Amino acid sequence: MTMELDVFVGNTTIMDEEVYQLWLDGYTVNDAVRVRMDGGVMEECEASADVLLSDTMDQYRTFQMCERLLHSPSKLGNQLLFQIPPHRQAMLIERYYTFDDGFVREVLGKKLSKGTKKDLDDIGAKTGVTLKSCRRQFDNFKRVFKVVEELKGPLVENIHHHFLLSDKLARDYAAIVFFANNRFETGKRKLQYLTFQDFAFCAGQLISNWTVGAVDNMVEDMDVDLDKEFLQDLKELKVLINDKDLLDQHKSLVCTALRGKTNNLNEMETNFKNLSRGLVNIAAKLTNAKDVRDLFIDLVEKFIEPCRSDRWTSADVRLYLTHYNNSVHLLDTFKHQVVWNRYMDVVKSSINILHVRLDESEGLSCFMEKKKSQRWGSCSSCRSPHSLAPGQTGGGLRDLFWAPTQPGRQQPVGRTHRSGRRRSIRKKDSLIAARGGLPHL
């Protein structure tokens, strides 16, 4: 029997975590009822479909009423409308701000603007996330972005304090905000194998080393904007490749250090100038906004791909980078040790993670299985490159790195085209432009 009115209110607000999740996932009431029925709640406690429907409606209503408060979680703690035990409040907030990794991966580095919001249905369809849930997540990103961009102090702290999120989630949001602000390009095919967590790790590195906040911790946007002076200073590093003596000296130092520690010494030696030139050039170009955006692509193209083609293992890469970095300190004539360190700390860890991930994704696609538990460790089974069977999903990746002509060739054309469009949008969006956070195109 359908009720004209059906309300159930408890003094302590009664919430079912399962229904909350369904609500967050954007299920309609009827779909949620179906899911719950399939979940076997009915058998568990002899309920009928009516009862389930009425319960679901009640809960949905409660959540809708709470949603307003969840937008500013600190209000939830001292509002009087709902009596919710603190651990429940924490759960509500945490879940509300939790996002789908697949979804965030799609919007990572994009501008959190209306334009992107219009594309949400496509993203939803692609990632299998309901539009409603996409909107919630997107709005969450935007809300966090808006609140923290005006604040002083460390980014993660600010998010943690204003949104009462767990440390982990606050860090993830810091990464999202950071990427959105600097508009790092993450959507390119070459970067597809990277998960959100990989980027979040890199973001953490960038925030703690390259931002204004890394040197001064009481300015606005300290963790959101890259340190302009530092970027300027990076130009000085060019001496490492331009000065022939220095380059040779560096090379010999690295090779000496590597001797006997790796099987790939030859390749390392032959590639040294090439790789070093790549890394230093990336550094020198970072004053340019466009090149900042392409940081990750550049790292892949200039360093990881050459390494891949020489079949370096992740251990090789790590070893090489360590010595490549350390040897610079032995160069007496090189005066920019501090800048170098600041630069290399990030590059080293980022390349490591990008390479490890590539290794893994190769290996995993090879075995057609996913093991998330091994995320942060290098995949032992994939230490050496595999010969991939043609036609497998991994083929795409292989094509990407071994094919002489890169499939992503047309991309730059599209990129220039799109950046042109973006510029026009950005003029309207005075908010971000006025912050000076984005280098001008």
Of the residues 38, 40, 43, 44, which one makes contact with another protein according to CB under 8 A: 44
Q: Which amino acid is at 177?
A: V
Cα(340)–Cα(345) distance, rounded to whole angstroms? 8
Compare residues 142 and 308 and give the one whose CB is closer to another protein. 142
Q: Check residue 40 for interaction with another protein (CB under 8 A).
A: no
Scan for tokens 């409040």, then name that residue: 89
Of the residues 29, 35, 37, 91, which one makes contact with another protein according to CB under 8 A: 91
Of the residues 50, 121, 122, 248, which one makes contact with another protein according to CB under 8 A: 50
Nearest distance in Å: CB 90, another protein: 8
Inter-axis angle of helices 314-329 and 244-258, to 10 degrees?
130
Compute φ and ψ for 175, nearest 5 degrees.
-60, -45
The interface with another protein within residues 150-179 (CB under 8 A) comprises 164
DSSP state of 302: I
Q: Which amino acid is at 103?
A: F
Inter-axis angle of helices 29-38 and 49-70, to 10 degrees?
120
Q: Which amino acid is at 219?
A: V
Nearest distance in Å: CB 6, another protein: 5
Q: Check residue 65 for interaction with another protein (CB under 8 A).
A: yes
Q: Of 351, 277, 343, which Cα lies nearest the Cα of 308?
A: 351
Compare residues 1 and 413 and give the one whose CB is closer to another protein. 1
Cα(400)–Cα(288) distance, rounded to whole angstroms? 26
Compare residues 83 and 337 and give the one whose CB is closer to another protein. 83
Of the residues 20, 23, 26, 54, which one makes contact with another protein according to CB under 8 A: 54
Nearest distance in Å: CB 153, another protein: 16
Cα(70)–Cα(90) distance, rounded to whole angstroms? 10
Q: Check residue 14 for interaction with another protein (CB under 8 A).
A: yes
Q: Check residue 431 for interaction with another protein (CB under 8 A).
A: no
Q: Check residue 87 for interaction with another protein (CB under 8 A).
A: yes
Of the residues 24, 33, 52, 165, which one makes contact with another protein according to CB under 8 A: 52
| Pure H helices in 191-286 | 196-210, 228-234, 239-242, 244-258, 265-285
DSSP state of 152: B
Of the residues 49, 81, 215, 431, which one makes contact with another protein according to CB under 8 A: 81
- The contact set with another protein (CB under 8 A) reads 1, 3-14, 16-17, 44-48, 50-52, 54-55, 57-58, 61-62, 64-65, 73-83, 85-87, 89-91, 164
